[in-house]
Each structure stands twice: as C-alpha cells, then as structure tokens.
Structure 1
Amino acid sequence: MRLQLSHKTTYRYDRPLRSVVQSHRLTPANSAGQTIVSWNVFVENAFMGTPFVDGAGDTVTTMTKRGPVSELLIEVTGTIDTRDTTGVLKGHKESVPPMAYLRSSSATEADVALTELAREVAAKGKSGLGQAHLLSRAISDAIVYRPGVTAEHTTAAEALSLGEGVCQDHAHALIAAALVVEMPARYVSGYLFSDAEGQAHEASHAWAEIWIDGLGWVGFDAANRCCPDERYIRLGSGYDAVDAAPIRGIGEGLAAELMDVSVAVQSVQQ
C-alpha cells in the first residue's frame, strides 16, 4: 500500500523565546514493512542538524531555531510504501539488545492489578507468541478505547483502573503486563491509515512491540485488537510515550506553550 502523510505541529508561546532546540524522530526507517518514497521535515528559518541513527535504529535529527520565537511550525510530508509482515519487524537494523527493554518506566510500572492480569494469562500455559497474543487480548478487554478520559501523563496502572483510555494507554498497559512475565517490550510511535467506517482512532498512533524468541520484535495494537499491517507507518520506539515521542525539546525563556497537531494519512495509487 502506498500511503501519503501530512503532519503539522504548531507551538505558540505567550512570550517570545530566545531559542528553541528540539530532537525530532519524524523520519521512518526503511524495513521489510515500509520503504520511503519521499520524505521531508521542514521548519522555516531553523537549522537542521545532520540526521543520525540511534541504537534502536531510529532516525534522529536536532533542530535549532533562534529567537525571538513566538510560533514554531513543524511540517512533515511524505510518501511511503508499506507491506503486511503480520506484525513482525523485519529488516530493521538496531544495536540495542532486546534484554535492555526488560525495565519499566514510571508510565509502565505494573501495580497489583496489572501483575494479577499478567499472571492470569501466564497461568494459561501459553508461551512466546501465544502468550503475547493473550496479553494483548486481555488489555483490549480491560481497557475500552475512549478518547478524552486520560491525559498525557496517565500511567498504565491508572488506565487499567479507569478501564478506559486511548492507544497510548493500551500500549503502556501491554508493556507493563509483558514485563511482569519477563518478556521484553517497548513503545512504538507512528501513524495509522484508517479506511473503515466509523473508526474513531486518530491518524497519529501508538502500539507496543514484544520480543519473541525465534521471531524478533512483534507489534501488537491492543487498541485495535490486531497486529500492525500495511496500514501502519512506524516512526520510532522507546520505553514509553515520552521516550518514543516524535518531538522532544526545550525553549530558552519563560513562556506558556500551546501546541496544536494535525495529522492526515491517505492511501494513494502506486
């Protein structure tokens, strides 16, 4: 499938900043599941550093914009060919060992309820891929997709307690459950093309990857009860949503920040 992306992020500040420095993880890596046709990240009057590939295989670029900065617009446009690899991340070059993802963060720390959920799944006797699918299904059942009930800093334990959340919450909860049964797991940020009628999910999306011996990293989208396929564009990964954020940065000066994001993913004929 050939997908076309338009992603705009606008930052507005109530007082001009002297400068803004950001780390961008906005360019997908080529793999068996996706190949870039064209891709561009543009910030007017900004200095873009030389891109580099980090240990997780993700492309990172540093952006610096000198002030006064009252508004900052980041525009990402691109075309990418995607293929269904049944959720398995193939052909993605990285150097960080899977065992590095056996630690939790504050967002993916399992509480008593998450621990019990994971152990109930483990008691069913499945292992490897089968256990990962059961964990994903259990999180899908436990957390209903509902926008607006959780916030940016909601933890996996809090989302499970609420029983509602969005894709970020599903990913955090699945990672927490996987870590309980000692399966390496990480957070993935990206995009989702949705052509199904009545789908409420946003184009900006997130899911989890779990390491399966003999297969490698396998993606699980508990929010949609599936594994990533040709509708998905994978951007980058990390321990949680903050670590895998497409844009991270700091500003020099004191100002209140307002952020607006618009993302559109379209299917185009090859």
Structure 2
Amino acid sequence: MRIRISHSITYAYDEPVRQLTQILRLTPRDHDGQHVMSWRIEPTVDGNLRAGQDAHGNIVHTFSADGPISDLAIHVGGVIETLDLAGVIRGTIERVPPEVFRRDTLLTTPDDALRDFAMTATRADATPLAKMHALTEALHDLLACDRSGQRTGVGAAAAFAAGGGIPQDLAHIFMTCARQLGIPARYVSGYVAQSDALPEAEGAHAWAEAHLTDYGWIGFDCANGLCPIDTHVRIAAGLDFSDAAPVRGARKGGSGENLAVLVSARAANAQLANQ
C-alpha cells in the first residue's frame, strides 16, 4: 500500500517567543515492511534544522529559531510504501538489547490489578506468541479507546483503572502486562491509514512491539485488536512514550500558547504518489 501522510503542528502565542527549540521524532525510516518514497519537514519560520539519531536509532530533527515569533507551523509529510508482514518487524536498526525492554518505567509501572490481569488473560501453558495475541484480544475487548487524541499523561495502571484511554495508554498497558510475563515490550509511535476496516484509524497512532525468541520483534495494536498491517507506518520506538514523543520543545517567552494539530494518513494511488 502507498500511504500519503500530512501532519501539521501549529503554534500561536499571546506573547512572542524570544527563542525556541523543538525536538522532532517525525521521520520514518526504511525497514522490510516500509519504504520511504518521499518525506519532508518544513517549518514556517527561519531557523536551523539539524538531523541526527537517538539511542534507539530513531531519526531525530532539532529545530531552533530566534524570535520574536508570534506563530509557528511545522508541516511534515510524504509518501510511504508498506507491506503486510503480519506485524513482524525486520530490517530495523537495533541499538538496544531486547532485555532492556523488560524494565519498568514511570508510565509502565504495574499495580496489583495489572499483575493479576496479565496472568488471568493468558494461559500459563501457552506459547509466548499465543500469550501476546490473547493479551491483545483481552485488552481490545475490555478497554475503551478514546478518539479525542488528547494526551492523557497518565501511566498504565491509572489508564487501566479508568477503563481505557487513547492508543498511547493502551500501548502502555499492553507493555506493562507483557513485561510482567517476562517478555520485552516497547512503545511505537506512527501513523495508520484511515480506513473503514479499522475501528481506530485517525492518522496519528501508537502501538506496542513484543520481542519473542523465535520471531524477533512483533507489533500488537490493542486499539484495533490486531497486529500492524500495511495500513501502519512506523516512526519511532522506545521504552515508553517519553522515548518516542513526536514533538518535545522548550522556549523562552511565548506565554499563552495555543496549539492545533491536523493529521491525515490515506491510501495514495501511484499517480498521486509520483507527483
């Protein structure tokens, strides 16, 4: 599938910004399941845009600019060609051993309820792969997925107690349970092509990957109740949202920030993709 992505992040400030820095994890890279045909990052103010990589191998751009800046937009997008590999991830840059992803973080710290759920949702005699599928199905059936797109900022235990959250929260819950079962799990940010076939396909998305000895890394999308297919575009991965946040920033001045985000991810035909 060819997927055309358009992602705009717009800031407006009541008081002009004197200086700002944005850390952007918004650029996909090639692996066996996706090929980047075109991609761009375009800020609307003059500044310095530098490319690099983080400890997880994610592509990171740092944008810095001096003010006064009253408004700023960052337009990101391009065309990605994807393949359905049933969630199996191959050909990615792996700089961190899988065992590191067994570690709990602030957003994936379990409580008794999550520990109990991880055990009751899976059979003790099942294979690790069967356990991950059972966990995905159980969480998809149990938890409500919030379509608001507003980041909650809560950890897995709080989201589980609340009965759901945005896809980011569901990914954290899955990761917490997988780690309790002794299986390394990591957070993935990306996009999902909008489709009537998927219940949760609003453009920007998040899911999890689990590392299984016999298969390597495999993706699990609890919001949609399936392994990622050719509708999914993988952008960044890490121990939790903090490692793969699409945008992080700091500024001097600029009180009264107003933020607007617009994301579109749709199947593109060959003619449009080649324009």
> Distance between the aligned counterparts of 2:150 and 2:134, measured in 1?
24
Deviation at 1:4, TM superposition (A): 0.6
In the alignment, is residue 231 of structure 1 matched against residue 231 of structure 2?
A: yes
TM-score (norm 2): 0.92
2:212 matched to which residue of 1?
212
Contact 2:99–2:184 (Cα < 8 Å) also in 1: yes
Cα deviation per residue 1:173-194 (whole Å; 9 max; x = unaligned)? 0011111112111110000012
| 1:1-270 equivalences in 2 (<5 Å) | 1-44=1-44, 45-49=46-50, 51-148=51-148, 151-196=151-196, 199=199, 201-253=201-253, 255-270=255-270
> Distance between the aligned counterparts of 1:214 and 1:245, measured in 2?
30
Name whichever of 150-159 and 182-191 sits farther off. 150-159
TM-score (norm 1): 0.94
Deviation at 1:256, TM superposition (A): 3.0
Letter matched to residue 47 of structure 1:
N
Contact 1:192–1:233 (Cα < 8 Å) also in 2: yes
| Structure 1 residues 229 and 197: CA distance shift in structure 2, 3 A | closer
Contact 1:143–1:159 (Cα < 8 Å) also in 2: no
Name whichever of 113-122 and 58-67 sits farther off. 113-122
> Distance between the aligned counterparts of 2:164 and 2:42, measured in 1?
36
Letter matched to residue 247 of structure 2:
I
> Distance between the aligned counterparts of 2:265 and 2:149, measured in 1?
25
| Structure 1 residues 198 and 136: CA distance shift in structure 2, 3 A | closer
Deviation at 1:214, TM superposition (A): 2.1
Deviation at 1:46, TM superposition (A): 2.0
Identify unmatched segments of 5+ residues in structure 2. Answer: 271-275
Tell me the SS of whatever aligns to 1:78.
Answer: strand
- Percent of aligned positions with the same letter in both sequences? 36
| Structure 1 residues 149 and 192: CA distance shift in structure 2, 3 A | closer
| Structure 1 residues 124 and 146: CA distance shift in structure 2, 3 A | same
Tell me the SS of whatever aligns to 1:93.
Answer: coil
Deviation at 1:14, TM superposition (A): 2.0
Letter matched to residue 48 of structure 1:
L
User: Number of matched residues?
Assistant: 269
Deviation at 1:124, TM superposition (A): 3.5
Deviation at 1:24, TM superposition (A): 1.0
Tell me the SS of whatever aligns to 1:26.
Answer: coil
Deviation at 1:129, TM superposition (A): 1.1
Cα deviation per residue 1:26-72 (whole Å; 9 max; x = unaligned)? 110100010011100011312101x2233322111111011112212
Tell me the SS of whatever aligns to 1:242.
Answer: helix
Deviation at 1:73, TM superposition (A): 0.5
